[in-house]
Amino acid sequence: MLNSPGESLKERESFEKIQSYFKKSKEKKTSGFLNKILGNNNLGDIIFERLTLLFAVLVFSLVIFMGWEMYSHSVLSIKQFGLNFLVNSTWDPAITQVFGALPMIFGTIVSSLIGLIIAVPLGLSVAVFLSELAPAWLEKPLSFLTELLAGIPSVIYGLWGIFVLVPWLRDVVEPFLQNEFPNSPFFQGAPYGYGMLAAGLILSIMVLPIISSISRDILKSVPDAQREAAYALGATRWEVTKIVLSNARSGLLGAIMLGFGRAIGETMAVTMVIGNRAGISASLFDPSYTMASVLANEFTEATTDLYLNALIELALVLFIITILINMLAHLLVWSTERKWK
């Protein structure tokens, strides 16, 4: 567009002002404290860069170091049991000294899956409501409250589990399920309250805020242009939401995986309600054991070297599974976010 002569003159003046500002700031830079000492314009930058790099590498090497430490302290058990450690279901520290982690791997994965089966539909619904439907005045406080759930120490969840959840399961839910589905393999055995079901329920409450808050962020990162495109085609609110969800699907999967990672590593609350007995059973009423609970419970009792090595190998397995799941989750979340930039 054409400018009147007066305007272009103004523009030129402001352009000169900007130029002189940059000149000044450049002068300032060369007279900086670090540069005065070092007498070099770029050395400060180089030091800064190397220093931050060092810290970044330090954090990363910490992870490698931990992995290495666990490996080197479990060599005894790795040599003795090999891959059998992962598929053997006997955990007998007392007499035969045979260690197989299968029941704990089973307990960890199944309790986490139960948690997810309950938490995923709830968490996604909360996220859809917060990002797509809730009015602005409701969104903020509700998001805050759901995120608050994530901040409660897990021992408190555990206590709540022992005093509220377990008695309720024992006296109400489990007898009811047993009456309604007498032939279901999932509801067999004495209803103790303590067991897989209690652990799964506690975990579902604990991962709910993670799934819902990350999913909400993912849904919010879907550009409004997508929603408008759908609305302009004559989509209803539900149809618009479907399009938003399909845009965000890999990020949502990532959110679920992060929740899964959290559930797998959860120790205290699960240990307090799962019953702590190594065994593989289809019944949700039966006590079970998770890798994290074994470590918490038995570390102080490990009297022989092999026992200790087996426990550390168990930690290594948990460590690797958690890292893999988190990596996958971050990869998925990152791939959706990148798409929009």
Task: Give the footprint of another protein on this chain (CB under 8 A).
Answer: 1-2, 4, 223, 225-236, 239, 243, 246-247, 249, 339
Residue closer to another protein, measured from CB, 64 or 232: 232
Q: Minimum CB separation from another protein for residue 3, in Å?
A: 8
CB of 338: closest distance to another protein in angstroms? 12
Nearer to another protein by C-beta: 147 or 337? 337
Minimum CB–partner distance for residue 223 and another protein (Å): 8
User: Six-digit token pair at 93?
Assistant: 């520290």
Greatest Cα-to-Cα distance within the chain, rounded to the nearest angstrom: 98
Minimum distance from residue 129 beta carbon to another protein (Å): 18
**Nearest CB to another protein, comparing residues 118 and 243:** 243
Beta strands in 105-258 (DSSP E): none
Q: How far is the CB of 229 from another protein (least distance, A)?
A: 4
Q: How far is the CB of 244 from another protein (least distance, A)?
A: 10
- Nearby residues of 199 by Cβ (< 8 Å), 6 or more positions away: 107, 111, 114, 115, 270, 273, 274, 288, 290
Amino acid at 26: K
The nearer residue to another protein, 105 or 248, going by C-beta atoms, is 248
Handedness of CA 21, 23, 26, 30 (dihedral sign): negative
For residue 149 the two structure tokens come to 């759930």
Nearer to another protein, 184 or 246 (CB): 246
Of 45 and 224, which CB lies nearer to another protein in the complex structure? Answer: 224
Cα separations in angstroms, 139 against 64, 129, 142, 322, 328: 41, 9, 5, 32, 29
**Cα(244)–Cα(59) distance, rounded to whole angstroms?**
36
